[in-house]
Amino acid sequence: MKTYRRIIFVAGSGTCRAPMAAAILKEYTLKHPVEILARGLVVLFQEPLNQKAEAVMISNGVSVEDYASTQLSEGDMDENTLVLTMEQSQRQKVLDTYTNAVEENVFVLTELVGDELEIMNPYGGTLQSYGLCYETLRQTIKKLVKLLNDNEGE
């Protein structure tokens, strides 16, 4: 895997899984400086982090202050940007919608790290379902950090 300058996590509204994944990754130390962002595929207006997602993040000591959802845009992507979606359908939408999306830089997060299941969307679920989503993301991000750091300079 090449070295990226920017990593963008992308999900539906950009108010839950993408910002949780970005905040978790920011907790780790990467061998090279990288900008870490969260974006939504459908952001009609800026929204704060989902309340249940925020509660789970705070209870796990992860900072998510002043977050507001942002629409993914053409300007977000270039050949030095890794785009990580939560679902295969989202990856396809990025590739179909954005001409700047470089196919070999757009992955489903779990597929990239070798997991079989996608990150489930807890939207509308219980606080426990958001907690489960957080734990799944944390395990997946841990694998991502190893992948990024092990491949440094290749």
- Give the range of the structural domain holding residue 51, as residue numbers without chain letter: 6-150
In a domain, 1, yes or no: no
In a domain, 103, yes or no: yes
In a domain, 146, yes or no: yes
In a domain, 95, yes or no: yes
Residue 63 confidence (pLDDT): 83
Number of domains in the chain: 1
In a domain, 75, yes or no: yes
Whole-model pTM: value is: 0.95
H-helix segments, 8-104: 17-26, 51-59, 88-97
DSSP string over 89-140: HHHHHHHHH-TT--GGGEEEHHHHHT-SS-----TTS-HHHHHHHHHHHHHH
In a domain, 84, yes or no: yes
Residue 1 confidence (pLDDT): 72
At 81, which CATH number? Answer: 3.40.50.2300
Q: How many CB atoms lie within 10 A of CB 126?
A: 10
For 84, residues 6+ apart whose C-beta sits below 8 A from its C-beta are 7, 8, 9, 10, 21, 107, 108, 109, 112, 144
Q: How far is CA 88 from CA 79, 94, 95, in A?
A: 20, 10, 11
In a domain, 24, yes or no: yes
pLDDT mean for each 10 residues of the chain (154 residues): 92 97 95 95 95 96 90 95 97 96 96 95 96 97 95 57
User: What's the one-letter identity of residue 46?
Assistant: Q
Residue 14 confidence (pLDDT): 96
Angle at 134 between CA 132 and CA 135, to 5 degrees: 65
Distance CA 14, CA 28 (A): 21
Residue 152 confidence (pLDDT): 55
Smallest CA-to-CA distance from 49 within 80, 23, 30 is with 23
